[in-house]
Homo-oligomer: A and B are copies of this chain.
Amino acid sequence: MTLKLYFDFLSQPSRALFIFLKLNKIPFEACSVALRNGVHLTDEFKTKFNRFQKVPFIHDREFKLSESVAIIRYLAREYNLDNKWYPKDSKKQAQVDEYLEWQHNNTRAFCALYFQKKWLFPLLTGEPPVPEQLQKFEDNMISTFNNIENIWLADTPFLSGNEVSVADIFAACEIEQPRIAGFEPRQGRPKLAAWLDRVRNEANPYYDEAHTILNKMAKKGGQAKL
């Protein structure tokens, strides 16, 4: 196998990339990186695997690439993909890209920050979150959910139009994350909840496969351990 995907199922873009590869039947070697054990923090990892010491990333023979969105574009070219997940049509692709760029400082940043401040850092440090700070992070996350509900899904069943795309996968994988911290994004948001179900259906069985650990942890209502 020439293509290796390095990932952790507790990383949102790792799940998105895993699902994208499976849906597109791109053969790859699945290389699990257990972030919870800190294996990515060594100098050896930095030199041999990924200079940014994060997941996900790929090695395609000698070529090393990080950044999940850059990776899906690279794979779309290398495997000559042209389907609903990442269309070649210039305007359709631009609409998928528009979400993939927007998400970084919205869905990605705010769901991850809430998850880290509410659940991950307290678990790692033993210190509870500062309530006012946490409220600010929750407000930002909720504002993002509102933008998805009221802007992105205003007129279409999926983020980039009438067809599902990799944009929906990236968004859904981020929005599932705060469930580990006990926050249920579906609650009180019927439009977002119905869209999440549609994305899951379109991306299954791989969506459920990538979310197995997360779903188990979410069942513990914010009390799961690493």
Q: Which residues of A are in contact with B by a Cβ distance under 8 Å?
A: 51-52, 63, 65-71, 73-74, 77-78, 90-91, 93-95, 97-98, 100-102, 104-105, 108-109, 151
Contact = CB atoms under 8 A, between A and B. Distances in A.
Contacts of A91: 63, 74
B78 A97 contact: no
In terms of DSSP, what is the predominant structure of the interface of chain A?
A: helix
Contacts of A70: 94, 97-98, 100-101
Contact of A104 (B51, B63, B105): B105
A200 to B, nearest CB: 25
A63 B93 CA distance: 13
B151 A98 contact: no
A5 to B, nearest CB: 15
A71 B98 CA distance: 8
Contacts of A90: 74, 77-78
5 contacts: A66-B98, A70-B97, A70-B101, A73-B93, A101-B104
A99 to B, nearest CB: 8
Most buried by B among A67, A77, A93, A100: A67
A102 B65 contact: no
A73 to B, nearest CB: 6
A46 B151 CA distance: 10
A98 B51 CA distance: 12
A161 B71 CA distance: 18
